[in-house]
Amino acid sequence: MELDAGMDTQRIAMVIEFDGRSFHGWQRQNNALTVQEVLELAISKVEGYSRSIMASGRTDTGVHAEAMLVHADISKARWQRSARAYTQGVNQFLPEGVVVMGVCAVDDDFHARFSCLERRYRYQIWNRSTPSVLAAWRHWWMPRALDIQAMQQAADYMLGEHDFGAFQATGCQAHSAVREIRYLTVKQQGWEVSIDIHADGFLYHMVRNIVGNLVQVGTGKWKADYIPELMQQKNRSIAAATAPAQGLYFSDALYPSFSARDLIGKESN
């Protein structure tokens, strides 16, 4: 059933967490289970009518999310009864592997995608001679030792606004490859290497392609100063292979007055 055109609605923002193993990415597909599909279905069951949602970004099969933000237009009367009950109601209808962690009312002109100022990702590498059997699906296993300092040096070349055509996957529909990377760090704690990257936006597979090239530097196959040359060439075919999906996490989305992480644990009208 579709929403009654005369019904008063309230736009809400939800922050969600999901395990990418369970889904074929974010965006709804005709022949595969996606996060968008199960979340829309859960909201529709609460609302009693079909409802579509918009997200701050898209993820591929196997990619995880710690704090992805979505918005939806729902019944104002139902929302005003209890934000907490609404969150619990949606979670009741969600399958294992995805959960709503917080929700709040937003203005009618708020848009999860177009109001977003910055998207943030983290990539995790398991850097040990043997893999992790407890969390193999959460990392890219890299048995060769990585030079973290060299990787950071290479990462620094990517900071700022550049044409990232060398890191743009085939099939990307973006009109321009120019993006601004505002933060890019490579850190190691124990066996885990974390690469955090924040930007105004990302091209298709851009983060995973950047990680693949940083690992080339980390293993000593490339020098760090090859990165600016690669960026200048804007040629994907001479860059490194794409890092696997399971190490990638959508970690946050920044808006003018809050971030997705700010909504975790929040349930307010």
Catalytic machinery residues: 60
DSSP state string for the chain? -PPPTTS-EEEEEEEEEE-GGGSS-SS--SSS--HHHHHHHHHHHHHTS---EEES----TT-EEEEEEEEEEEEHHHHHH-HHHHHHHHHHTSPTTEEEEEEEE--TT--TTTT--EEEEEEEEE-SSS--SSSGGGSEE--S---HHHHHHHHHTT-EEEE-GGGPPTT---S--EEEEEEEEEEEETTEEEEEEEES---TTHHHHHHHHHHHHHTTSS-TTHHHHHHHHT-GGGSPPPPPGGGEEEEEEE-SS-BGGGGTT-EE-
